[in-house]
Structures are given as structure tokens and as C-alpha cells.
Structure 1
Amino acid sequence: MTTSTLISSDGFLLGIDGGGSGTRVILADAGGAELARASGGPSALALGVERAWQAIGDACRRAFESAGLPFDWNACSLGCGLAGVNNADWLAGFLAHAPRVRALSVESDAYTTVLGAHGGDAGVIVALGTGSIAASLDEAGVCRIAGGYGFPSGDEASGAWLGLRAVVHLQRVLDGRADADGWSRALLERTGASDRDSLVVWLCAANQTVYATLAPLVFEFRDHPAAARLLAQAAREIETLVGALDPAGKLPVALCGGLAALYEPFVPAALRERVRSPRADSAAGALELARRAHRPAR
């Protein structure tokens, strides 16, 4: 009997981190030993549950291929940390579309992020990617959440939030309400627009993922007065999210997600002193969910 047969008889664990920019998967054996990692397209529930499962399935298949193992949903226990599960209808739809798996545990990506970042210990995270959300875990293991109400009204300091405000500057430039400059030219190039009408076409098709593609240009042009004001506002939003979850200012803080490293120099000094590197990512937190939910074969 081969090693892979021995492993697969007890099933596999899949930790899945799904957001608006992409999906990250960790494949492990039933004992939690990592076998492979893979990534795929976005699987935030706001983009549709069928699209979410398609992205998750594709990423899981890649993980099994990377490990040189056959892929079978029936052998898998899934832990999912997903953006959008706070919408009961989206969550119900996601569960209804689930393939036949050994076990399935679904939580907010905020919970899996704080679980991974602090290794299950007490702490605060602010997840900064296409969307944003803050979460804390106390000594009793109770999770609290702040922000994360979704784009466009919430998700402060997220990539989509930055991109939406950056394109407002571009609109002002195209109208002559602000002067053209290097930042506006870079924004035009990124959107593929050349004038007012072509930008309107871009705006009509844009969703949170598309707006987030403009966020890197805010950091690149950080010395531009408008971009600098925007980043200062975002840093204050991050500080406020942390303060809502830890008013005493005692817990360690981890900035997580694709924009975390870019934001760190901008957060206020008092908060920056408490910032710690995350121990692991949201996919690792989701893998812990899978481990807890896993049912060995009888």
C-alpha cells in the first residue's frame, strides 16, 4: 500500500481563505501536516456563490495536483474563511451549493485571520485587502468584529475603498476641477480610459475587485497631496477599528492582507508600536477549522 493511499484513507484537510482578490488553499493530511498550497480567483460571496465554489474548486484541484494526489471532494474536510458570510442569504446559498464533502465549517475570514495571526491567543487584527475588516480574540476565545460592512459603504482603508476615492480624483482632473499630473495619468492608464466617456464605461462595469486594482497607485504616488490625504485618512480608520475592539490598547495587533505591509508606515506611532507580524495567515486559520470539523473514516 502506498503512502498516499494510507493518507487518503483518513481523508484530507483543506483550509480555504476566500476574498475579493483571490482564493488561497492549504492542503494537509488528516493529522494536519501540510502537503501543498495553491491559489485561484476571487471567492468573496458578494461575487456570487456559484463563482465562489468554482474558484474554490479550481484552487483545491491545483493543490491536489501539486501534491501528486487524486482529488475527491468526498475525502475532504473543508474549513472556509470567506468574505461575505455575515450576509445570511449568501451564506445559505453557499452551503446549498456545497459539493458532497466529509465535513464543512464556514466562518468569516475575519475569524480565520485572527485565529491564524495570533495562533489562537488573544489579539487584534485588521485585514486589509480588496475589502477590510477588524477582529479580536479574547482570552476566552470569543471573537468580536468591527467594520467589514462591505463595499461601497464600508470596508474602510481597503483596496476597493482606496480605489473608489482615487478615481474621484481622476474624475475631477478630467473635468478640469483639478490639474492633470503623473498620478492622474497613471490612473488613466490603469483604467484604460482616455476621456470622460471612456471612464464612465469603466465605472459602469467596475466592482470592488476592479476598484482595488487602483489601490497600488495611491501608495506609489504617496507624495501627491491628494493621495497623502487619502492615506492619512485610511490610517486613522485603521486606528479607529483597533480602538473599537481594544479600548485599553493592551492587545497585540497584526495587520494582515495584501495591503498590510504598505500601510504599516502610515499608522500612528502609538499603534505601530503594538503591531506584530502575524504568525500565520487566514488559510492556516481556516485549516484549523477543518481540523476541528474533520471526521475520520469509520
Structure 2
Amino acid sequence: MNHPLPLHHTLASPSALARVRYWVGVDGGGTGTRVKLADATGRVLGQGEAGPSALGQGVAQAWRHIQAALAQAAAQAGLGELALETCALGAGLSGANVLADAQAFIDTQPGFAAVLLENDGYTTVLGAHGGAPGLVVAAGTGTVGEVLRADGSRAIASGWGWVCGDEGSGAWLGLRAMAHAQQAQDGRVPVSELARRVWAVAGQDREAILAWCAGAGQHGYASLAPLVLDVADAGDAAALALRAQAVAALEQLAHSLDPQAELPLALAGSIAKRLLAYFSGNIRARCVESQGDSADGALLLVGSALNDKTGTR
């Protein structure tokens, strides 16, 4: 399935594109960057990793870490330093939906024959379903869903951030577990095993809990999610209620993107995968194993663009 060029891209002339020898697929987020280096048939030759390349953390940093991960991938493939004009790069980056940052990323590209930029949710969909129509619900630290429909249209839902969104995510579960533990501390609700487990992490008294919350941030709250699910597995009523709410939120997300319940669904992220057994029968029946990841989806962007522009592959 060919896909339209991303809104943000730069391409050399068709004759220059025809001389591209390597494809580069980038998956970049707020904690790290993964690069897959492939030959001009899409066969992966090497992989590399580096620091974050989410555009919200800075465009210069994104390019620095992408090139560091690419150098690692090239070394793994037994190649020397790559001439960038022989490479076409596809990137799925967190923050690519912020237009100013996306354009700055394209404008400062260091000399690749092509750069194709999408948000990492879309490249995750492409990778998961091999470029075919499908849906991805990702729930780990945060939550987001994205769909590619049979008519080529796309949609995204959730992903609004942990402060007031990302329902069903690890941070969302952790926030609610902490709220329950605070209420139990006050005597507003009965003390549960969930409350005890949260206190074991955050502290046993009001001052300690307030201090923990002040410094927790998204990742701190998300770190509480596994204990919520562990305690739910053991039958704790408060944890079971939170687990049920998370399942309902993720099912609602899937339904909003595919109301006809027709498309294959791939799950991404530790929370979504752990909750699979508790989804409704229809959701479970449509779940498929991902064919690839976001970096694979970025490679598909490159292949589609080069096929369209050169007609040689």
C-alpha cells in the first residue's frame, strides 16, 4: 500500500534519489532513539540506539542523537561512515505534530537525500500492520491510539498528556492509586492492600507522601502502575476497580478510532499488553501481533516515497 508523502519532508531530485543506497528508519521519543539501517530493498543491516529525539526537547538534540544512533547501526552493519547523500531517512518522532518544531527539523537536516517526518504514532501503525490498514492502541507511561483506514484516512485519539488525559496509561493508574492511598491515609476510605503498597513506596505519613508527590512527575506515577496490577491480580477490590476503569478507557479509545470494529488491532506498551486478558471478546478477537515497530514503519515511509518518486524499486 503506497502512502502519501508526509506534510513535512524534503526530497532530492529523482536522479539523486535513484542513487540512494541505504534507508534509515528512526523511532524517536522522550527517553531514547532507535535507528534501523537497511539496504535499498528494505533489508535491515544494523541497528543503533542513542538518547532522546523528541522534538519538544530540541531539534538540534534530535539530529545529534539520530546521527549517533545511525553511526552505531552502520558500525554494526560493518560499514564505515556513511555519506548522507546516499541515505534516505524516515522518522517517526514524538512532537512531530508541532508544526514549528517539525519544520525546523526539516530545515536543519544535515544532508540526507530524503527526510520524511511523521509522528511516532503513525509510524507505529505502519510498522505494526506492515503498511496495511489497522489500529494501534499504545498504553505504557502514556496512552495514544492511531488508525490507518482502508481509504487512506488517518485519525489519532488520546495522547493529551498525563496531567489531564492519557486514560488507561501507567501514569493515569498511578495517579489514581495515589489518590486512593491519600484517602485511606485520611480515613475517608478503608485501608486496602493497594494503599499499603503505595505507602511502602511513597512513605507512611502525610509529609513523606506530599514530598514524594511533589517530585514524582509522570514517570514516578507510572512506576506505581505495576503494583496496582499486581494487587488486582491478588484480588484487592480497590485495585480491581482501577484495572476495570483502565480497560474501559482503552476499549473506548479503540472504539472511537474504529467504531465499526472491523480493523485489526495491535497493542503496544506494557500496560496495554498486560490488560489484554481483560478486554472484551470483540477486542481480543481483533488483536494481532505487531509485524514490526515504529522504526520499521519509518522504513516503510522511505520505501513508499522512493517507489513513488523514482519508479525504480
Q: Please tell me the TM-score bracket, short chain as reference.
A: 0.7 to 0.9
2:129 to 107, 118, 121: 118
Deviations 1:62-106, CA, capped at 9 Å, x for gaps? 323322333447254321212232233443454455444332211
Distance 1:90 1:200 in 2: 36
Count of matched residue positions in the alignment of Structure 1 and Structure 2 = 287
> Within the alignment, does 1:258 sit opposite 2:270 as a pair?
yes
Greater CA drift, 158-167 or 132-141: 158-167
Partner in structure 2 of residue 243 of structure 1? 255
> Within the alignment, does 1:275 sit opposite 2:287 as a pair?
yes
> Within the alignment, does 1:33 sit opposite 2:46 as a pair?
no
Please give the residue correspondences for 1:186-201 in structure 2 after superposition, counting only pairs within 5 Å: 186-188=197-199, 190=201, 193=203, 195-201=205-211
Distance 2:167 2:83 in 1: 36
Q: Would the aligned equivalents of 2:193 and 2:236 in 1 still touch at CA under 8 Å?
A: no
Report percent identity of matched pairs: 42
Shift of 1:46: 4.4
Deviations 1:161-188, CA, capped at 9 Å, x for gaps? 2222233234334545456665445445
Partner in structure 2 of residue 18 of structure 1? 28
Partner in structure 1 of residue 97 of structure 2? 86
Q: TM-score, normalised by structure 1?
A: 0.81
Greater CA drift, 115-124 or 53-62: 53-62
1:215 to 197, 200, 225: 225
Q: Would the aligned equivalents of 1:104 and 1:293 in 2 still touch at CA under 8 Å?
A: no
Q: How big is the alpha-carbon RMSD for the aligned residues of Structure 1 and Structure 2? A: 3.0
Q: TM-score, normalised by structure 2?
A: 0.78
* 2:275 alignment partner, SS class: helix
Structure 2 runs not aligned, ≥5 long: 1-18
> Within the alignment, does 1:231 sit opposite 2:247 as a pair?
no
Distance 1:180 1:227 in 2: 12
Shift of 1:107: 0.9
Q: Would the aligned equivalents of 1:19 and 1:42 in 2 still touch at CA under 8 Å?
A: yes
**C-alpha spacing 1:232/1:99, structure 2 compared with 1 (3 Å):** farther
Greater CA drift, 53-62 or 25-34: 53-62
**C-alpha spacing 1:114/1:221, structure 2 compared with 1 (3 Å):** same
**C-alpha spacing 1:153/1:50, structure 2 compared with 1 (3 Å):** farther
Structure 1 runs not aligned, ≥5 long: 1-8
2:115 to 87, 95, 104: 104
* 1:279 alignment partner, SS class: coil
Please give the residue correspondences for 1:137-176 in structure 2 after superposition, counting only pairs within 5 Å: 137-176=148-187
**C-alpha spacing 1:69/1:249, structure 2 compared with 1 (3 Å):** same
Q: Would the aligned equivalents of 1:21 and 1:209 in 2 still touch at CA under 8 Å?
A: no
Partner in structure 1 of residue 297 of structure 2? 285
Partner in structure 1 of residue 13 of structure 2? none
Structure with larger Rg: 2
**C-alpha spacing 1:270/1:293, structure 2 compared with 1 (3 Å):** closer
Partner in structure 2 of residue 203 of structure 1? 213
Deviations 1:6-59, CA, capped at 9 Å, x for gaps? xxx844322122234543322212321101223444443445545544544443
Distance 1:127 1:251 in 2: 16
Partner in structure 1 of residue 12 of structure 2? none
* 2:247 alignment partner, SS class: helix
**C-alpha spacing 1:102/1:162, structure 2 compared with 1 (3 Å):** farther
Distance 1:22 1:166 in 2: 28
> Within the alignment, does 1:62 sit opposite 2:84 as a pair?
no
**C-alpha spacing 1:220/1:29, structure 2 compared with 1 (3 Å):** same
Aligned residue type for 1:64: A
2:143 to 129, 132, 138: 132
Q: Would the aligned equivalents of 1:14 and 1:76 in 2 still touch at CA under 8 Å?
A: yes
**C-alpha spacing 1:189/1:282, structure 2 compared with 1 (3 Å):** farther
Shift of 1:255: 1.2
